[in-house]
Amino acid sequence: MLRELMPLIPTPLRYGGKKPEIPLRLIELVEKGVTLRNDIVHGKRVVLKRETLDEVLGAVRDLLYLLDGFGGMTWAGQNLSHETIQALKGDG
């Protein structure tokens, strides 16, 4: 959904004068989180490192703020991580 539908949704949010795309890094980390969640829920033994958990939760946090921004909540952009802001600007 993030790859296919988000580009179609109109938004007032702009970075560098253009509508931002959700950074690939965020999409990949959210997908990783979904896979980990599914493995855990279905009883698969998962070794989860603290840094992996921090990365996934940080990506989810940024995604939620980015979605707020897509919805017109301009304050949300102030809460994005530096890495995500750089990716949105095309610098990362």
Percent of the chain at pLDDT exceeding 70 = 98
* pLDDT per residue as tens digits for the range 16-57: 788 888 999 999 999 999 999 999 999 999 999 999 999 999
b vs e for 42-61, b when ≥16 Cβ sit within 10 Å of the residue's Cβ?
A: eeeeeeeeeeeeeebeebee
- For the whole model, what pTM was predicted? 0.87
What are the tokens at 88?
């949105």
pLDDT class of 89 with cuts at 50, 70, 90: confident
Tell me if 63 sits within 8 A of 26, measured CB to CB. Answer: yes
